[in-house]
Amino acid sequence: MKPTKYALSIGGKELSVEMDRFAHNANGVAVRYGDTLVLAISVMSKTPKEGGDFFPLTCDYEEKFYAAGRISGSRFMKREGRPTDEAILSTRLIDRTIRPRFDPRMRNETQVVTTVMAFDGKNDPDIPALVGASLSLAISEIPWNGPVAGIRIGKKDGKLIVNPTYEEREGADLDLLVSGPEGKINMIESGAKEIEEGEIVEALELAEKEIHELIQFQKAIIAEHTTGKVMVPLAEPSHEMTQFMKDDFEPRLEEILYSGLKKLEKYAKRDELEAEWKTRATEMFGEAAGTNTLEHVFHEAVNDIVHRRAIAGNERIDGRKMDELRALSAEVSVLPRVHGSGMFSRGETQLLSIVTLGAPSEEQLFDTMEGEFKKRFMHHYNHPKYSTGEVGRMGGGRREIGHGALAERALETVMPSREEFPYTIRVVSETLTSNGSTSMAAVTAASLALMDAGVPIKEPATGIAMGLMMDGKGHYKILTDIQGPEDHHGDMDLKVAGTKNGVNALQMDVKIEGITVPVLKEALAQAKKARLEILEVMNQAIAEPRPELSPTAPRITTLKINPDKIRDLIGPGGKVINEIIDTTGAQIDIEDDGTVFVTARSQDSSAEAIEWIKKITREIMPGELLEGRVSRLFEFGAMVEVGPRQEGLVHISELAPYRVSRVTDIVNIGDVIPVKVKNIDDQGRINLSLKDVPGRYSDEDVAAAKAANPNPYAGRLEDDRGPRRGGSPTFRREHHDRRPRH
């Protein structure tokens, strides 16, 4: 089959698609944007997967180091390892965009893989990956209702930018990724700097127009490459089975859902009813009552009930109004010894966040396809099974990484700069009890913990999860602070996080085909009202960051030294700096511009390390009075150690204001003496004087010395009046020049 190529200008750059060239057995599509190229494939199993009440879709986004011309890894392992957090987040973007376009009744395992084959360092691969995944599915035999497309909108210096480069995204006020089908939006991922809701709506409207162009472009390609879609078995119940559910089980199910019981009690009763449903339906319908079908019918019954009660009756599971929050509570200083802690509860959802402060060198290092970089603020989110009353293995997955990154993005905007607060900051949010909107509770608890730790954040931040119930006729209700079945059976999960000034982060995914911009505009306005209510509760617990750090937190002192002194501070093979660290217990970080961070657990440790550093790196100035130890003796003078690895010469003529015959007549090795800096020559050598030290010699001392030695020329070396008879006039300079250089 001959390869074909198509191109479209988007965001001022060409996006090209190449068909029928790669991966012929897996519907391969190559999408290039700039010099970034992504290969997308899609495959499906021949038979349905037994068990489970969900569609088994797997998405993988692969970053290859060769794409950027890099070899990475340890000396012993050069193969790519497990996906980076960034790759996992890109995977989730694709999954959340394409999943709503599948029939949820499908049970055939389906896999979509996007691989970054070339990376130019300018254009993010996520947009070509989305387009590639859409085209691969659309031209395949896999049942899928596409195409979809994605676009990135940035805002910088007041201007909206379509598909901004990495450089343009740096420092932008808005970084918004939007995807969806024609005329609708089904996925949003965004970071922002306290941007107003109206500006977000403006960016969404632009995104919708650009998505339209990409959809039309794909439709033209699909028309030339389409193949027939295969028919796959669906969890399709008979009319009799559906009616049996409605007549015999739905009233009892509705009573349980709206009973006012706590989550675990409600779920226990619902599970009992579902077990009864499966038993009786199996007895009644025999082989037609497969596990997948029975679970689908029960799921749809819950779905129908919560939609009907919300849209027609304006009713919610727990009796709240559509824009009403659950009961809120906020606490700080929950745990002893930690550097900061905050706990936030919203209904049955409870999050505890803990802050740990560390030295600048404890930043997290990343080695990815994009290159190496560091991160000084980290937010990690944990959602153990016990938070829902279940048994399960510990450890995070893609969901935990996604929720942690969302909360981190919401808090980044309010974090102090490195210059203001040089600490490495790690926040861990532990989900203790889960009943909806835990990621937004994590933002709130983390904000409380940061203020409790004394981190000077610019503003408290919080977040809220908004839901949607929409019927087939377009009637809908927007729900504030979704929980339980509203989350699982609702049509939208829109997470909005920010401060009183604006939005810092957005995330949305849907279970229907998509949402229009007007509906999103309404949801954003409703979310703002809720956000301000939560901030009021937070302010009652703690209104601003504490003025002092926790007594258990390390203290960082920042020094500035001459960059030329860095090698003296480090020493050969790190000998000097390691000696300081081992002796004082302090941690020392040095930057190329001469900035030195001293991190210590105690004041004494910090003071000792700082004093040591100052002695090593101090800039000695002419005229200074110093105290030093005599370290070496020569015929022409004495070397005096005036600081760590710093020596200066006291010439024999500078030892006393009278003739000195032998250096040892005045000083010996180990003597601690005061000296005055005469000058520093152009090679950095320090010339010292003992005789010029004020008060060192009295007139009586001078007179007595001269009386004891009446012949001023009796010494071996010349003084300032001339050379010793018979001696070389260059003797002093030759010996002086042989001293060690510094």
Lowest mean pLDDT among 276-285, 288-297, 579-588, 604-613: 288-297
CA–CA dist 511, 104 (Å, integer): 9
Name the pLDDT band for 713 (thresholds 50, 70, 90): very low
In a domain, 234, yes or no: no
On whether the CB atoms of residues 643 and 624 are closer than 8 A, the answer is no
In a domain, 213, yes or no: yes
Residues 208 and 298 in one domain: no
In what helix (H) or strand (E) does residue 242 lie, and over which residues does it extend? Answer: helix 239-244
Q: What pLDDT, on a 0 to 100 scale, did the predictor assign at position 678?
A: 94
Specify the long-range contacts of residues 308-314, CB closer than 8 Å, at least 24 apart: 309/254, 309/258, 310/469, 310/477, 310/479, 310/486, 311/469, 311/470, 311/471, 311/475, 311/476, 311/477, 314/477
Name the pLDDT band for 53 (thresholds 50, 70, 90): low
Pairing between strand 149-156 and 159-162?
A: antiparallel
CA–CA dist 660, 703 (Å, integer): 14
In a domain, 323, yes or no: no
What is the side-by-side strand order in the sheet with 4-10? 4-10, 13-19, 29-33, 36-48, 108-118, 57-63
The tokens for 500 are 């009183």
- Per the structure, the complete domain to which residue 596 belongs is given by 555-617
Look-up: residue for tokens 């800039």? Answer: 619
Residue 562 has phi, psi (to 5 degrees) of: -65, 125
Q: What is the DSSP string of 146-194?
A: ---EEEEEEEETTEEEES--HHHHTT-SEEEEEEESTT-B-EEEEEEEE
Q: At what angle do helices 126-139 and 85-98 cross, to 10 degrees?
A: 40
In a domain, 423, yes or no: yes
Residues 21 and 166 in one domain: yes
Percent of the chain beyond pLDDT 70? Answer: 94
Q: What pLDDT, on a 0 to 100 scale, did the predictor assign at position 645?
A: 72
Instruction: Give the count of beta carbons closer than 10 Å to the beta carbon of residue 48.
Output: 18
Residues 532 and 386 in one domain: yes
CA–CA dist 84, 370 (Å, integer): 11
Q: What pLDDT, on a 0 to 100 scale, did the predictor assign at position 557?
A: 94
Residues 98 and 150 in one domain: yes
Given 311, 338, 361, the domain boundary residue is: 311
Q: Is 579 helix (H, G, I), strand (E, B) or coil?
A: helix
Specify the long-range contacts of residues 691-696, CB closer than 8 Å, at least 24 apart: 691/654, 691/655, 691/656, 691/657, 692/654, 693/625, 694/625
Lowest mean pLDDT among 330-334, 405-409, 567-571, 667-671: 567-571
**Torsion sign across C-alpha atoms 529, 440, 96, 89:** positive
| Residues 72-110 as b or e (16 or more Cβ within 10 Å = b) | beeeeeeebeebbbbbbbbbbbbbbbbbbbbebbbbbbb
Residues 383 and 499 in one domain: yes
Residues 136 and 263 in one domain: no
Mean per-residue pLDDT, 687-712: 78
Mean per-residue pLDDT, 130-155: 96
Look-up: residue for tokens 């037609």? Answer: 288
How many domains does the chain fold into? 5
Residues 113 and 14 in one domain: yes
> Over the stretch 522-536, which tens digit does the pLDDT of each residue have?
999 999 999 999 999
Look-up: residue for tokens 């068990």? Answer: 51
Mean per-residue pLDDT, 173-191: 96
Residue 125 has phi, psi (to 5 degrees) of: -70, -10
Q: What pLDDT, on a 0 to 100 scale, did the predictor assign at position 736?
A: 41
In a domain, 742, yes or no: no
CA–CA dist 316, 309 (Å, integer): 7
In a domain, 59, yes or no: yes
Whether pLDDT at 677 is above 70: yes
Q: What pLDDT, on a 0 to 100 scale, did the predictor assign at position 733?
A: 34
Burial class of 163 by CB neighbour count within 10 A (0 to 12, 13 to 18, 19+): buried
Q: What pLDDT, on a 0 to 100 scale, did the predictor assign at position 732?
A: 36
Mean per-residue pLDDT, 615-634: 91
Mean per-residue pLDDT, 363-386: 90
CA torsion 157→158→160→165, rounded to 10°? 10
Residues 220 and 245 in one domain: no
> Over the stretch 453-512, which tens digit does the pLDDT of each residue have?
999 999 999 999 999 999 988 899 999 999 978 888 999 999 999 999 999 999 999 999
The tokens for 529 are 């009202």
Pairing between strand 57-63 and 108-118?
A: parallel
Residues 470 and 572 in one domain: no
CA torsion 565→566→569→571, rounded to 10°? -110
Q: What pLDDT, on a 0 to 100 scale, did the predictor assign at position 629?
A: 95
Q: What pLDDT, on a 0 to 100 scale, did the predictor assign at position 522?
A: 97
Mean per-residue pLDDT, 160-181: 96
Mean per-residue pLDDT, 119-130: 95
CA–CA dist 622, 26 (Å, integer): 77
| Residues 697-710 as b or e (16 or more Cβ within 10 Å = b) | beeeeeeebeeeee
Instruction: Give the count of beta carbons closer than 10 Å to the beta carbon of residue 166.
Output: 12
In a domain, 319, yes or no: no
How far apart, in Å, do the first and last CA atoms of the chain sit? 74
Name the pLDDT band for 722 (thresholds 50, 70, 90): very low
Residues 470 and 537 in one domain: yes
Name the pLDDT band for 729 (thresholds 50, 70, 90): very low
Q: What pLDDT, on a 0 to 100 scale, did the predictor assign at position 739?
A: 46
CA–CA dist 72, 399 (Å, integer): 27
CA torsion 555→559→564→569, rounded to 10°? -40
Q: For residue 313, what are the CA distances in angstroms to 98, 322, 512?
A: 32, 11, 21
In a domain, 272, yes or no: yes
Mean per-residue pLDDT, 567-586: 92
> Over the stretch 547-562, which tens digit does the pLDDT of each residue have?
999 999 999 999 999 8
What is the side-by-side strand order in the sheet with 555-560? 555-560, 595-600, 587-590
DSSP character at residue 248: I
Name the pLDDT band for 711 (thresholds 50, 70, 90): low
DSSP character at residue 386: G
Q: Tell me the one-letter amino acid at 626.
A: L
CA–CA dist 597, 586 (Å, integer): 10
Q: What pLDDT, on a 0 to 100 scale, did the predictor assign at position 505?
A: 97
> Which has the closest alpha carbon to 635: 660, 658, 663?
663
Bridge partners of 610, per DSSP, are: none
Angle CA 222–227–231, to nearest 5: 125
Whether pLDDT at 725 is above 60: no
Given 617, 637, 656, the domain boundary residue is: 617
Q: What pLDDT, on a 0 to 100 scale, did the predictor assign at position 59?
A: 96
Between 585 and 289, the more confident residue is: 585
On whether the CB atoms of residues 594 and 562 are closer than 8 A, the answer is yes
Q: What pLDDT, on a 0 to 100 scale, did the predictor assign at position 54?
A: 79
The per-residue pLDDT of the chain, averaged, comes to 90
Residues 197 and 258 in one domain: no
For residue 118, give the CATH number of its domain. Answer: 3.30.230.70
User: Is-cis flag, bond preceding 147, omega within 30?
Assistant: yes
For residue 731, give the CATH number of its domain. Answer: 2.40.50.140
Known binding residues for Mg(2+) are 487, 493
Look-up: residue for tokens 């809720």? Answer: 530
Instruction: Give the count of beta carbons closer than 10 Å to the beta carbon of residue 556.
Output: 21
Known binding residues are 487, 493
For 157, residues 6+ apart whose C-beta sits below 8 A from its C-beta are none
In what helix (H) or strand (E) does residue 557 lie, and over which residues does it extend? Answer: strand 555-560
Q: What pLDDT, on a 0 to 100 scale, did the predictor assign at position 289?
A: 79
CA–CA dist 673, 625 (Å, integer): 11
For residue 610, give the CATH number of its domain. Answer: 3.30.1370.10
Between 340 and 645, the more confident residue is: 340
pTM of the model: 0.85
The tokens for 693 are 């030290």
Mean per-residue pLDDT, 66-71: 89
Q: What pLDDT, on a 0 to 100 scale, did the predictor assign at position 381?
A: 96
> Which has the closest alpha carbon to 210: 504, 36, 12?
12
Mean per-residue pLDDT, 174-183: 96
Residue 453 has phi, psi (to 5 degrees) of: -80, -10
Given 517, 541, 565, the domain boundary residue is: 541
Name the pLDDT band for 234 (thresholds 50, 70, 90): confident
Q: What pLDDT, on a 0 to 100 scale, did the predictor assign at position 485?
A: 83
Percent of the chain beyond pLDDT 90? Answer: 73
Q: For residue 692, what are the CA distances in angstroms to 44, 556, 648, 676, 698?
A: 91, 40, 15, 6, 12
Radius of gyration of the CA atoms of the chain, in A: 36
Whether pLDDT at 184 is above 60: yes
Name the pLDDT band for 72 (thresholds 50, 70, 90): confident
Q: What pLDDT, on a 0 to 100 scale, did the predictor assign at position 237?
A: 86
Q: What pLDDT, on a 0 to 100 scale, did the predictor assign at position 717?
A: 38
> Over the stretch 591-617, which tens digit does the pLDDT of each residue have?
999 999 999 999 999 999 999 999 888
Residues 159 and 28 in one domain: yes
DSSP H helix total and E strand total for the chain:
17, 29
